[in-house]
Structure 1
Amino acid sequence: MPVWERPEPQPRAAPVPLSRAKIAAAAVRLADEHGLDGLSVRKLAGALGVGPMRLYDYVANRAEILDLMVDAVYAEIAQAGDGSDWRATVLAIKHRTRGSALRHEWFADLLGGRPHLGPNALAVGESTAAALSQAPGVRGLDELQRALGALNAFMIGALRAEIAERRTARATGTELAAWQSSLGPYLTRMLDTGRYPTVARLVIDGAHLDPGETFARNLETVLNGIT
């Protein structure tokens, strides 16, 4: 039986009361600070002030902890959009998803694998699908599936790319700036050869937007394509 459908264990006299919500919140804090590699049942138990075996009253394994964590993040997203306008609803959900992924970078690492089926994830999926089904260019179930596939593929790629860039910048710091500076003359020489005119236009004349603006523009492009 999935973790969301199993009843909570009966409360018992203990110095530290537990619940699945409390376990999920502590696990999210650990992963926010140390990443998924820094999350284990033992470390989580230590953060909660209990022995590891106490956690197994509530979750069967680490995978169920991840399921609870992911659904806790979807709870942050689930209230986005009121459904009155399909495009505004989709934009609100996706911008809120980006905000949650930037607060909880590990969340992006868990996108694109097995489906997320917790109650909050299903609520976000329902809101997104219901909104997209009202888009002018979406007629019938097949087109809705394709639209959802395109939107989800964009989201996963955009979030992972942005977070990978943030991680690289943190890890390398001044090394990244030095690398970029050292390659600047090379890139200039290569573009001056005239063999890469389109790349040159993008580098020299293209808009250099911040990540939020880039995400917003590209998301609008995807929705324009769907409609």
Structure 2
Amino acid sequence: MTIWDRPEPPPHPVPLDRERIVAAAIALADEGGLKAVSLRKVAARLNAGPMRLYGYISTKEELFDLMMDAVQAEILPEEQCDEWREALRVLARRTRQAALRHEWLADLLGGRPALGPNGLAVTEATLAALDGHAGIDTVMRAVETVSAYFIGAIRREITNLRAERATGLSKHDWQRASGPRVTELLATGRFPGLAKVVHDSTDVDAETSFTTGLDWVLDAVDAKLTCPPA
């Protein structure tokens, strides 16, 4: 029986329910990441005894499932999009926006399928937009491919944001600090590809990089959806 199938305990003089518990857990995670979340800390934030929470949630993993599903409500499109490219684009962008608001989300993305009501609604909306464009196996590979791209891109972006906070160095500060070492390495002539990147490539912000990569992946998926089977 999943957490969503299990009933909540009867009313108590001190109000408590899963919605309040999840909201408190999300607040803790937003402040200090998933490592800051425990049933004891959530109970303390709610001025409740830790044992009371076990009537609503059995494990920290169940709490993470509920937190994930709560954020899936932020990802769920406001209205159904029937054009598959736009539906997948909206899914990717809204997932990135949610992860920038809740950085801990990057640590939970890509796990087992979400079985909460909001996670199921996101999945259903995505599959509905692709319905009729190809066989179900091709549709699943399309969704997996796009998801793999944006989850990887989001994790990289969040990792860089965390590194900036940990070191106190922005991306450009780090580049300047690393400049002498990079110059020394390039002078050896052993890294011509890297030298071209350093000297000739255009530096773009994270959102531009994300959007460009997403469009390229969608183009590749489009080719598979429109190519007749051999």
After TM superposition, the score normalised by the length of structure 1 is 0.89
Show the counterpart of 2:228: none
Contact 1:81 1:89 in 2 (8 A): no
How far, CA to CA, are the matches of 1:122 and 1:175 in structure 2? Answer: 38
Show the counterpart of 1:37: 35
Measure how far apart 1:71 and its partner are: 0.3
Contact 2:73 2:119 in 1 (8 A): yes
Larger deviation, residues 20-29 vs 107-116? 107-116
- The 5 A counterparts of 1:117-132 are 117-132=115-130
How far, CA to CA, are the matches of 2:97 and 2:188 in structure 1? Answer: 41
Q: In the alignment, residue 84 of structure 1 is paired with which amino acid?
A: D
Measure how far apart 1:18 and its partner are: 1.1
Q: Report whether the alignment pairs 1:101 with 2:103.
A: no
Measure how far apart 1:179 and its partner are: 5.1
Q: Over aligned residues, Cα RMSD in angstroms?
A: 2.1
Q: 1:140 to 1:174 in 2, by over 3 A?
A: closer
Q: 1:149 to 1:42 in 2, by over 3 A?
A: same
Contact 1:86 1:134 in 2 (8 A): no
After TM superposition, the score normalised by the length of structure 2 is 0.88
Specify every segment of 5 or more residues in structure 2 that has no aligned partner in the other structure, as ranges. 223-230
- The 5 A counterparts of 1:1-227 are 1-12=1-12, 14=13, 16-133=14-131, 139-174=134-169, 180-192=175-187, 194-227=189-222
What are the superposed Cα offsets for residues 24-58 of structure 1, whole Å, 9 maximum, x if unpaired?
A: 11110011101111111110000011101111111
Measure how far apart 1:193 and its partner are: 5.1
How far, CA to CA, are the matches of 2:142 and 2:103 in structure 1? Answer: 26
Measure how far apart 1:11 and its partner are: 1.8
Contact 2:92 2:147 in 1 (8 A): no
Measure how far apart 1:4 and its partner are: 0.8
How far, CA to CA, are the matches of 2:186 and 2:79 in structure 1? Answer: 45
Q: In the alignment, residue 6 of structure 2 is paired with which amino acid?
A: R
Measure how far apart 1:209 and its partner are: 1.0
How far, CA to CA, are the matches of 1:178 and 1:109 in structure 2? Answer: 26
Contact 2:4 2:116 in 1 (8 A): yes
Contact 1:9 1:58 in 2 (8 A): yes
How far, CA to CA, are the matches of 2:3 and 2:158 in structure 1? Answer: 29
SS at match of 1:209: coil
Q: 1:180 to 1:157 in 2, by over 3 A?
A: same
SS at match of 2:113: coil
Measure how far apart 1:195 and its partner are: 4.4
How far, CA to CA, are the matches of 1:157 and 1:7 in structure 2? Answer: 36
Measure how far apart 1:68 and its partner are: 0.6
Measure how far apart 1:84 and its partner are: 2.9
How far, CA to CA, are the matches of 1:89 and 1:127 in structure 2? Answer: 8
SS at match of 2:204: coil
Contact 1:81 1:88 in 2 (8 A): no
